[in-house]
Homo-oligomer: A and B are copies of this chain.
Amino acid sequence: MDIRTLCLGALSLGDATGYDIKKLFDEAFSHFFAAGYGSIYPALEKLAEEGKVAYDRQQQEKRPDRKVFRITATGREAFITELIDTPPREKLRSEFLVLMFFAHLLPPQRLAAVLQERLDESQRELAILEELARRELPAGMKFTIHYGQAITQAAIVCIKENQARLIRDVNATVNECNPSTLR
């Protein structure tokens, strides 16, 4: 599943400009799928070539023209087919965990700072999700928010419970690390 498909999904909710779609990525999709203008505009162009979306050009005074996109019948069908065929995968890419994995190579104060940064960031994400959770939304959308809250909360608890001990243990075992158990 790529950004083209997500754009189609965005348009299945109602007509929108590329700019509007970006906002959707930054809000409702933000905790499970990311995209910037540099992927969204080319995606919309390609979808238009394929006949999956169409658009009207709206002239505006003193602003650039807007291209208001809408999904076509073909596009809707393609989107639903794609949804049905997509296996429910999930992939985490965590630079934070890389840093933790190699915590023994990090200066102690950097380790502490990294843990704190991650904690702060997770708390910011949780606040955004809590804000989203207040809205009236269809069950599926609500579920994505609950799920995001659940895992973010779990991450926060895990960091809070372990950060002090981790910093202590890593300091205590400098250069005593024996990673042979991994192989």
The distance from the CB of A90 to the nearest CB of chain B, in whole angstroms, is 4
Please state if A181 and B135 are interface contacts (CB–CB under 8 Å).
Answer: yes
Assess whether A44 is interfacial by the CB under 8 Å rule. Answer: no
Please state if A101 and B140 are interface contacts (CB–CB under 8 Å).
Answer: yes
User: Of B31, B102, B182, which contacts A83 at CB under 8 A?
Assistant: B102
Assess whether A62 is interfacial by the CB under 8 Å rule. Answer: no
Task: Point out the residues of chain B lying under 8 angstroms from A93, CB to CB.
Answer: 32-34, 90-93
Task: Point out the residues of chain B lying under 8 angstroms from A98, CB to CB.
Answer: 1, 5-6, 9, 32-33, 83, 86
Copies of this chain in the oligomer: 2
Task: Point out the residues of chain B lying under 8 angstroms from A20, CB to CB.
Answer: 183
Which residues of A pack against B, CB within 8 Å? 1, 5-6, 9, 12-14, 20, 24, 27-29, 31-34, 79-80, 83-84, 86-107, 110, 114-115, 117-118, 121, 135-141, 143-144, 146-148, 150-151, 153-155, 157-159, 162, 165-166, 169-170, 173, 177-183
